[in-house]
Amino acid sequence: MIGAAVVGLGWWGKVLARELTRSGRFHIRRLVDVRPEAAQSVTEPAGVPFSTRYSETLDDAQVDAVFLATPHADHDSQIAAAAQAHKHVFAEKPLSLTAAGARASIAACHQAGVVLGVGHERRWEPPMQEMLRSVRGGVLGRPLQIEANFSHDKFLALAPDNWRLSARQAPGAGMTATGIHLLDLAIAALGPARTVVARCATLASRFEGGDTISTLIEHASGAHSTINVMLATPFISYFRVFGDQGWIEIRDKAHLEAPAGWQFSQSGKDGEVNTREFPVAAPVRDNLTAFADAIEHKSPYPITPAAMLHTIEALEAIFTSARDRTHVTLPN
């Protein structure tokens, strides 16, 4: 199996450790966190060597790949160090907070001949895969618009100094937490962004980075996406895509902490709405399996470097638009 190290043992780092273990493709050789007490927080797998120093992981010959569940602004330097050490690297989303950072990470991994993966696991959700097949296969006709929302109030329980609430680590309200998933899916469905308008506010919390954001994206195809994220309202998550021959709506039935599957509705030109249920799946594990397949040269990693870059280019434009209250045009 592929030797792995999980770096960052907060909430999601523990999820990654569990899913890596259950995938049957990875053997976790090392756990890493700057907090010594974090060693006691991981229950699966048990008995794995723990370190507070990332450099020790990069020097470990038993580690083939590192998995970063670390603060967003740290990704650029950590990916560069992993590539220099010839370790494959899987970074939680967002890959970077800047387009320049994403380009540098992609280039470093390419030059080192290592695989770069990213935690856009929503691409592996069965209803999202069906949606993408329908859009790309012309089932909905010409794509016109996407409406998406992924909001919750779980961050209200975090300590004020938690990095997920930091304006430096997580600008743009919930864009780096949940909105990034919707942005990645919108770009996968409609293509790269051409212009962005975003507005961010702090209305029901004291979060440095804001607690509500609305975005309007014009894609290079001419289609539009509206993405809304709130960090101070009860859970809701839906993704709607409209074409001139029909539409699809996907609703999450529960937060991913305790998933309950999805409701998938579709309508064609006749206006008849068909609704069906998708059961709980394992998209995080499926993403990790795809990463393992790429490492072992079985198949390319499905999210291309270009797709990774397009998402971060749009994300940075959202940050800029929200901060400066401007209309941002992306470079060709």
Domains and CATH numbers, the chain: 2-121 (3.40.50.720), 122-329 (3.30.360.10)
d(CA 280, CA 119): 18
pLDDT the model gives residue 144: 98
pLDDT the model gives residue 44: 78
Residues of the chain where predicted confidence (pLDDT) is lower than 50: none
Q: Which of 4, 49, 29 is nearest to 289 (CA)?
A: 4
d(CA 332, CA 218): 13
Length of the chain: 332
pLDDT the model gives residue 331: 87
* Strand duo 236-243 + 193-201: pairing: unpaired
Chain centroid to CA 197: 21
> Residue 252: what residue type?
D
pLDDT the model gives residue 41: 81
> Residue 275: what residue type?
T
Lookup result for tokens 């997920």: 164
pLDDT the model gives residue 266: 98
d(CA 117, CA 124): 13
Q: Which of 144, 130, 169 is nearest to 243 (CA)?
A: 144
Query: 276-329: per-residue pLDDT in tens?
Result: 999 999 999 999 999 999 999 999 999 999 999 999 999 999 999 999 999 999
Neighbours of 110 (CB within 10 A): 13
pLDDT the model gives residue 172: 95
Judge whether 173 and 210 are in contact, CB under 8 Å. yes
Judge whether 166 and 97 are in contact, CB under 8 Å. no
Q: Give, in order, the Cα–Cα distances in Å from 222 to each of 99, 131, 218.
A: 22, 19, 6
Helices (H), the chain: 11-23, 54-58, 75-84, 99-112, 126-136, 180-190, 283-295, 305-324
d(CA 34, CA 59): 17
Tell whether the torsion through CA atoms of 220, 225, 226 and 231 is positive or negative.
Answer: negative
Judge whether 191 and 313 are in contact, CB under 8 Å. no
pLDDT the model gives residue 68: 98
What angle do the packed helices 75-84 and 99-112 form, to 10 degrees?
Answer: 10
Judge whether 91 and 118 are in contact, CB under 8 Å. yes
Backbone φ and ψ for 98, nearest 5 degrees, come out as -140, 150
Neighbours of 119 (CB within 10 A): 25
